[in-house]
Amino acid sequence: MNLLVKKFGPLTVILLSALIAISCEDPGRIGLIIDGDNGVISTHYQDIVLPTSVVQFDLRKTAESKSIQAGQYLNPDFGLVTSNSYTQLRLSTIIVPEPTAEYTSFEVAISFISFIGETPLNSETQEISLYQLAEEIDSTVSYTRLDQLAINPTPLGVWEFAPKLNDTIQVDSVYIIALDDVVGQDLFQKLMNEDPVFDNNGAFNAYFKGVAFVPTLDNTDIFQLDADQMTFKINYNEFNSDGTPIERSYTMFISTTGFYHLDSDRTGTPISGINPDNTDYFPPDDYRYLQYGTLMALRADLTPFYELTDTLSNLIINKAEVYLGGVKQYGNDFQPPSLLQVYFTDETNEWPIVDDVGRFDTTQVGVRFIMLQDEAIQGRPGVYVAPQDTFYDANDFNYRVNMSIFLQNLYSGNFHSESEPFLEEKGQFFIFGETNILTPQRSTSHVLSTLMAVHKDSIRLRIHYTIPTEQNQ
């Protein structure tokens, strides 16, 4: 395909570009003065259905995550989703108890900051159990969402609670849960005796191993726990000279070393047959599904667009957007993601292009990931920290992802790569809800995010473009 910029002289190109830049809306009102008999361009609009499939990546890192989440929820399309977390504890400054001190209790202060699932009714009880780990968390391992660790057979304690829905869900309530006194007394004696297990965090976690948060009831929600507010306390009494008891405590906190497990039982759902490792799956109900925590994404193919442009000798793209319409609604309990993010595939079409080197100093496709941008930014694709104009329209149930700048740069030659031509030749990209696919612990976890379903015929590329009229080619 020959570009219009190659066909005309520089002055003509500048004039046309200026005219097009000030009007990128409906092609019938593009803002150009066009003589019906002697016009130099004609305007066009295409609404192209993009071929899509559903893919899933299992090896999603959740190691070193501060996201502590546990529970389960059930969705008719996504099945039963269950999560549990594993974390080490962090010591605080140690003041050795007096020799006459007496142990009183072992407890944890716990609360949640968000949840996903059905809105809990006042009478619905949720239950999360805390277990001591039977094996140590290996800080050198990059644990994924599929990994689990062995736990002791009996729980340290059980958190049974009923979130209230009077005026609002009580996300600011702090619960004090009694923990196993045998474990508490053992730790207290070691604290009293200045045992080496309290010398540092490494020594303590080699002995205590860590804590698991596991749902142990038919819960209706997964809760993200407030790791910053969670404290484990060994309570004890010291005594004045007259024998008056004084309440004391030693506090431990959640460590930054940990990970969470996420499992999905999709039996009987439209995506029950999906396979991991980026295998194309075409649900029998013709919907396409996206889910944050399981790293389930849509793979879309721009081939129909390239096939169209191959039939044209010259082309100027005025406006382009990926449109996802008619997003399936699940009521107030499962809202679609607030935004989407798009990555092009690598040369094997197996993984998104992500490279943390040179984010802000290159536009080379394949060196940096490409995010679809709002054309109003007037910048180059691939140099943004966060995507723009990809937000969900709750009134019209759609996403409109503006990608004008990308296609304009691509077809002006700015994004051509002789070494990596697959981007133009194969034209596939992934649509994720996750804001950072490689380091999810730094971005929105699945507990804070949601799931999405959209009919395959509603995933389209909409383009407004102009081409020279026949007598001017």
Closest-CA residue to 434 (of 136, 67, 154): 67
Q: Render pLDDT for 410-455 as a digit per residue (tens, 0 to 9).
A: 666 555 555 554 455 556 788 887 656 655 555 555 566 678 999 9
| 282 and 249 share one domain | no
| 378 and 431 share one domain | yes
Query: How high is the pLDDT of residue 251?
Result: 97
Instruction: Please state, in angstroms and rounded to a whole number, the distance separating the CA atoms of residues 419 and 115.
Output: 46
| 256 and 361 share one domain | no
End of a domain among 219, 243, 265?
265
| 190 and 283 share one domain | no
For the chain, what is the mean pLDDT? 77
Beta bridge partners of 461: 48, 322
| 228 and 351 share one domain | no
**Please, which pLDDT band fits residue 409 given cuts at 50, 70 and 90?**
low
Q: Answer yes or no: is pLDDT of 320 > 60.
A: yes
End of a domain among 265, 297, 320?
265
On whether the CB atoms of residues 158 and 216 are closer than 8 A, the answer is: yes
**Please, which pLDDT band fits residue 188 given cuts at 50, 70 and 90?**
very high
Residues in the chain: 473
**Please, which pLDDT band fits residue 348 given cuts at 50, 70 and 90?**
low
In a domain, 150, yes or no: yes
In a domain, 63, yes or no: no
Question: Could you please report the per-residue DSSP string of 25-47?
Answer: S-GGG-S----TTT-SEEEEEEE
Q: Answer yes or no: is pLDDT of 11 > 50.
A: no
DSSP 135: S
Q: Render pLDDT for 62-120 as a digit per residue (tens, 0 to 9).
A: 776 677 899 999 998 999 999 999 999 999 999 999 999 999 999 999 998 888 888 88
Instruction: Please state, in angstroms and rounded to a whole number, the distance separating the CA atoms of residues 392 and 397.
Output: 7
In a domain, 173, yes or no: yes
Measured at the CA of 349, the angle between CA 347 and CA 350, to 5 degrees, comes to 110
Instruction: Please state, in angstroms and rounded to a whole number, the distance separating the CA atoms of residues 209 and 136.
Output: 4
Measured at the CA of 411, the angle between CA 414 and CA 426, to 5 degrees, comes to 100
In a domain, 147, yes or no: yes
pTM as predicted: 0.78
Q: Render pLDDT for 230-240 as a digit per residue (tens, 0 to 9).
A: 999 999 999 99
| 214 and 103 share one domain | yes
* Domain interval for residue 36: 4-57+276-472
Q: Answer yes or no: is pLDDT of 267 > 90.
A: yes
Which residue type sits at 214? V
Which ranges constitute the DSSP H helices of 336-415? 404-411
Q: Answer yes or no: is pLDDT of 214 > 60.
A: yes
Query: How high is the pLDDT of residue 135?
Result: 96
**For a pLDDT cut of 90, what percent of the chain falls above it?**
39
Instruction: Please state, in angstroms and rounded to a whole number, the distance separating the CA atoms of residues 340 and 387.
Output: 8
End of a domain among 265, 284, 313?
265
What residues contact 6, with CB distance under 8 A and at least 6 apart?
Answer: none
Query: How high is the pLDDT of residue 336?
Result: 84
DSSP-based three-state secondary structure for 133 = strand
Instruction: Please state, in angstroms and rounded to a whole number, the distance separating the CA atoms of residues 458 and 328.
Output: 11
In a domain, 62, yes or no: no
Instruction: Please state, in angstroms and rounded to a whole number, the distance separating the CA atoms of residues 363 and 370.
Output: 9
Query: How high is the pLDDT of residue 448?
Result: 62
Q: Render pLDDT for 358-378 as a digit per residue (tens, 0 to 9).
A: 222 233 333 333 444 444 444
Question: Could you please report the per-residue DSSP string of 355-374?
Answer: --SSTTS---BTTB------
On whether the CB atoms of residues 21 and 459 are closer than 8 A, the answer is: no
The span from the first CA to the last CA of the chain, in angstroms, equals 13
Count up the domains in the chain and report the number: 2
Query: How high is the pLDDT of residue 289?
Result: 95
| 283 and 203 share one domain | no
Question: Could you please report the per-residue DSSP string of 271-332?
Answer: TTT--TTT--B--TTSEEEEETTTTEEEEEE-HHHHHHHTT-S--EEEEEEEEE-SPPPBTB
Residue keyed to tokens 């194309």: 280
Q: Answer yes or no: is pLDDT of 26 > 50.
A: no
Query: How high is the pLDDT of residue 166?
Result: 59
Query: How high is the pLDDT of residue 365?
Result: 33
| 50 and 148 share one domain | no
Query: How high is the pLDDT of residue 204?
Result: 97
| 368 and 447 share one domain | yes
Half-sphere exposure at residue 78, Cβ-oriented, CA atoms within 13 angstroms: 28
Measured at the CA of 463, the angle between CA 49 and CA 406, to 5 degrees, comes to 105
Q: Render pLDDT for 138-182 as a digit per residue (tens, 0 to 9).
A: 988 888 888 999 999 999 999 999 887 655 667 778 999 999 999
| 358 and 336 share one domain | yes
- Lowest average pLDDT, out of 20-34, 210-224, 380-394, 458-472, goes to 20-34
**Please, which pLDDT band fits residue 317 given cuts at 50, 70 and 90?**
confident
Query: How high is the pLDDT of residue 331?
Result: 79
Structure tokens at 165: 């829905």
Instruction: Please state, in angstroms and rounded to a whole number, the distance separating the CA atoms of residues 291 and 450.
Output: 7
Query: How high is the pLDDT of residue 419?
Result: 52
More confident call, 162 vs 23: 162
Structure tokens at 8: 């005309």
In a domain, 233, yes or no: yes
| 179 and 137 share one domain | yes
Q: Answer yes or no: is pLDDT of 223 > 50.
A: yes
In a domain, 270, yes or no: no
Instruction: Please state, in angstroms and rounded to a whole number, the distance separating the CA atoms of residues 130 and 107.
Output: 11
Query: How high is the pLDDT of residue 29?
Result: 39
**Please, which pLDDT band fits residue 6 given cuts at 50, 70 and 90?**
very low
In a domain, 194, yes or no: yes
Query: How high is the pLDDT of residue 406?
Result: 67
Q: Which helix (H) or strand (E) holds 238?
A: strand 231-239
| 184 and 307 share one domain | no
